[in-house]
Amino acid sequence: MRIFWELTKTSLQRHLTYRAATIAGLVTNFFFGILRAAIFVALYDQQAEVGGLSLQGAITFAALAQAFIGYLSLFSWFELMNSVYTGDISSDLLKPMNYFAFWLAQDLGRALVNLLLRGLVLMAGYALIFDLIWPKSILQMLAVLVAIAFSWLLSFAWRFLINLSALWTPNARGILRFFFVFSWFFSGFLMPLRLYPDWVQSISRFTPFPHMLNSVVEIYLNMLSGPEVLLTLLAQLLWATILIAAGQFVLRAGVRRLVILGG
């Protein structure tokens, strides 16, 4: 565990040095968040709610979605893929810790920096412009924090798994981009899942993607009752476990055929 936390601390310190990139990402996320809020205002057109979601809830949903972009690496994450193509994976596999845990620790440091410096700051900026919804009790806030932690674990397990496609192809970037776009749709990032047709919502329930973002926001907005919150948290943990196991299986299969030239 000590190695894990040392790697996390090193990753956190490294990402803290990218202040210009952090500020640029924050400004970009905030700008597009304002545009998304404007779209929701036009969509509702004086209606009290759509799909069981109020306008205030939709705007809060948009704010949270933008705040989680950096935290969950919703747009891209190619670090593991790049390590395969550069050959760095050879030394990474020899490190005195599990390969998944090695990348998990580094991603935790990156995620914490983005959550604190981009996510929280963006929500504060949004609150200056819009009347957002906030958790109403300590118990709800605790559920939100647990859901946020599980969403990151689930997101990383998914990103780790799809990055392993680099072990089978000389350029996996197109494959990864396809899966990232696919996840935007079913995670609720593009639009709250409650605003989609029923058949889309039904399909999404058989995927892990809603539990990366949509479920977290619904817990935050208090749209789920007590038992539903518990079941949602368990579903997040279950999907994370499944994807971690799948990643270990794919990793073992990929390493058996891995050939590294040069040196």
Q: In this predicted structure, what is the pLDDT of residue 263?
A: 46
Query: What letter would DSSP give residue 53?
Result: E
Alpha helices in 73-137 (DSSP H): 79-86, 89-93, 99-114, 121-129
Domain boundaries, the chain: 2-256
Residue 263 half-sphere exposure, CB side, CA atoms within 13 Å? 8
* Packed helices 99-114 and 19-44: angle between N→C axes, nearest 10 degrees: 70
At 261, is the pLDDT very low, low, confident or very high (cuts 50, 70, 90)?
Answer: low
Mapped onto helix, strand or coil, the DSSP state of residue 64 is helix
**252 backbone dihedrals φ, ψ, rounded to 5°:** -60, -40
pLDDT tens-place string over residues 122-136: 999 999 999 999 998
Distance between CA 106 and CA 78 in Å, rounded? Answer: 13
Q: Is the pLDDT of residue 249 over 70?
A: yes
Return the higher-pLDDT residue of 151 and 16.
151
Q: Are 258 and 167 in contact (CB under 8 A)?
A: yes
Q: How many CB atoms lie within 10 A of CB 213?
A: 28
Q: Which two tokens stand for residue 161?
A: 């798994």
Q: How many residues does the chain have?
A: 263
The rounded mean pLDDT for the chain is: 91
Residue 243, Cβ density class (10 Å: 0-12 exposed, 13-18 middle, ≥19 buried): buried
Q: In this predicted structure, what is the pLDDT of residue 56?
A: 92
Average pLDDT over residues 241-262: 87
Q: Is the pLDDT of residue 255 over 50?
A: yes
The sign of the CA dihedral 153, 99, 244, 192 is positive
- DSSP result, 26-83: HHHHHHHHHHHHHHHHHHHTT-SEETTEEHHHHHHHHHHHHHHHHHHT-S---HHHHH
Distance between CA 210 and CA 94 in Å, rounded? Answer: 35
Query: What letter would DSSP give residue 188?
Result: T
pLDDT tens-place string over residues 27-48: 888 899 899 988 888 888 878 7
